[in-house]
Structure 1
């Protein structure tokens, strides 16, 4: 099997119709060129959509006219030297003309032409990439910014309600946040044609202990890592760090386990310490979500995403997550009124990249 063989090949995947989901309105947008005219590139029905995470890259052609994905595949990043190599490998099997437009959602802080991934030693120039692969228009956005653009396109079957709140998510600012290789977050302002996503970097905010149990762990964490920030603990590798810190504190000896083993042993009930680690992880997440809502004013709804939470849904539902989210004194009622939903869609970043505004980066001839 050659390097770069796809980790999974999902084939064709139909996208939920906008406006027929769980209450948020769908997009109906156009884009204009510098003269105020609607750009033909913006109304192109096909685009290459990509979701570049720290561990996986997902690619597909999205056909808006048919409301479907084609050639959807997921690749392990460790099998490739860079994103260009992934894209080139994937395009070899595409049995139709390469679309002239593309949108890439990247786990990175997007600033200008050069994109450097946060948790992967990859970088690329937007203009050089567009020129090499013949994209006449290319949009590059943060991965959770794409998650935000995906929210109105999620079907009711693709979310789990953790807190019903005051009712349907129909108005107000939305937030999406979640742990995976790191921890990302974003906001969605407006609905329909006025919808606009705002990328955030909550994973790099400082994290504070909210319970006596966590407070007891903090000196050890500070001594070892210097600064305790969100994704140091609220991420895949963070779950392993949290388990080590807890076992060191509780039993005097660190017990290193892979994140997948911790969640597996917690789900099966085979290891009470792993179950407790996951509960503490969820409690920390609840504290973070409360802070994120309070700081951003995302009273319209909170969506949880990332690669970890959908796999531990029963544990999340049984955990102190909601208790910690609401534990904000006089604002407990306001936080209890915020609808909270867990995204179960397999590729929300890809879905968002398929529907995000295509503000083109056009390479010079």
Structure 2
């Protein structure tokens, strides 16, 4: 066995599972090796996919692991969201030859991995001065809207998973109020996630169509972001502008409510693709404007996570620690 500890880490979604061997530690950083993406549909069970991955790996067999999964993590059997896969962590760990396997929610791993990302994997959205040992917040619109907090404790970082994406959406403009009205009519409750997610892009676009008296063209989220990038005067561009503005307001709310003066990290799969539009939008103005706490928020830096390795890095740190 190698003198350096290695960990089996995975980021498991509803469609794909990414595996890697992580080497290193939280203090000096981790190196991800032998990264491989497998399609869920090619395997009946998660243990089949994980076993196939390990059998193809070279080097010492890892003794510990952490699997970040898309879905709630509770004691006992874990069922993935949007997947037929389920597993019991202790049983799966034994099946894979691991002494310990820690299951965590995928956004908990994303949150823990955010500060471990290299400078090349992040982009500064707004400058500020991070307060030492203050909490950080990690939020990200993707399939849903994830929100996690990082709290410094005993020379380590503890992850506090939340369901903050399901808090009530707070519109600040007439157009946003129209979106909120649409969401309440459609769902009965207007949450931030129903604005700040892939489905949120569709909801905003549909609300604008209704307000404009035009038919809904059955766009996908990808179609909306693509058209927004290439046609600045389009309804898709209005949709993304409202999306980015609302994101700024939500991030500012999170900063005030959580005391996240250590900084805000923006993750998820949508934002790297629209980084140029995010920078041109009212994100920063809406993030800062929290009277009478504007000066408080204005000191907080915001970074955009560009790489998809953060959940794997976070899983490595959590495997090393053994819990959240």
CA distance in 2, matches of 1:182, 1:119: 12
Q: CA deviation at 1:67?
A: 4.7
Question: Structure 1, unaligned stretches of length 5 or more?
Answer: 1-40
- Does residue 53 (structure 1) correspond to residue 24 (structure 2)? The answer is no
Structure 1 equivalent of residue 187 of structure 2: 225
Query: Are positions 1:326 and 2:288 aligned together?
Result: yes
CA deviation vs aligned residue, 1:234-282 (integer Å, no higher than 9, x gap): 1112212221221222133222211111111111226621111001111
Taking a change above 3 Å as real, the CA distance of residues 106 and 195 of structure 1, as seen in their structure-2 partners, is same
Once the two structures are superposed, the pairs formed by residues 74-85 of structure 1 within 5 Å of their partners are: 74-85=37-48
> Match for 2:50 among 64, 76, 87?
87
* Structure 1 partner of 2:89: 126
CA distance in 2: counterparts of 1:306 and 1:79, whole angstroms: 25
Residue 327 of structure 1: how far off its partner (Å):
2.1
Deviations 1:156-194 (A, max 9, x none): 2221111112x2564311110001111111111117833
Give the equivalent residue in structure 1 for 2:318: 356
The alignment status of 1:174 with 2:142, answered yes or no, reads no
Most deviating of 193-202 and 113-122: 113-122
Offset at residue 217 of structure 1 (A): 2.6
Aligned equivalents of 1:223, 1:152: Cα separation in 2: 39
The verdict on how the C-alpha distance between 1:219 and 1:270 changes in structure 2, with shifts beyond 3 A counting, is closer
The change in CA–CA distance for 1:110 and 1:209 in structure 2 (over 3 A counts) is: same
TM-score (norm: length of structure 2): 0.89
| 1:215-294 correspondence runs (5 A) | 215-269=177-231, 272-294=234-256
Q: Aligned pairs, how many?
A: 319
Is residue 47–residue 96 contact of structure 2 (8 Å, CA) maintained in 1? Answer: no
SS of the equivalent of 1:141 reads strand
* Contact in 1 for aligned 2:64/2:319 (Cα 8 Å): no
Give the Cα–Cα distance (whole angstroms) in 1 for the partners of residues 172 and 14 of structure 2: 29
Is the alpha carbon distance of 1:303 and 1:61 closer, same or farther for their aligned partners in structure 2, counting shifts above 3 Å? Answer: same
* Cα deviation code 1:43-90 (max 9, x no counterpart): 961111111234432111112289532220223445544433432332
Give the Cα–Cα distance (whole angstroms) in 1 for the partners of residues 64 and 277 of structure 2: 41
| Structure-2 separation of matches of 1:195 and 1:67 | 15
Residue 64 (structure 1) aligns with: 24
**In 2 relative to 1, CA 118–178 (structure 1 residues): closer, same or farther, beyond 3 Å?**
same
CA 159–146 in structure 1, closer or farther in 2 if over 3 Å, else same: same
Kept in 1, the 8 Å contact 2:168–2:190? The answer is yes
Where 2:56 maps in the other structure, the secondary structure is: coil
Judged with a 3 Å threshold, the aligned counterparts in structure 2 of structure 1 residues 276 and 77 are, in CA distance, closer, same or farther, namely: farther
Structure 1 equivalent of residue 80 of structure 2 = 117
Secondary structure, aligned partner of 1:244: helix
Partners of 1:74 and 1:128 in 2: CA distance: 23
Scaled by the length of structure 1, the TM-score of the pair is 0.80
Q: Which ranges in structure 2 are unaligned for 5 or more consecutive residues? A: none
Contact 2:137–2:264 (Cα < 8 Å) also in 1: yes
Name the residue aligned to 2:63: 100
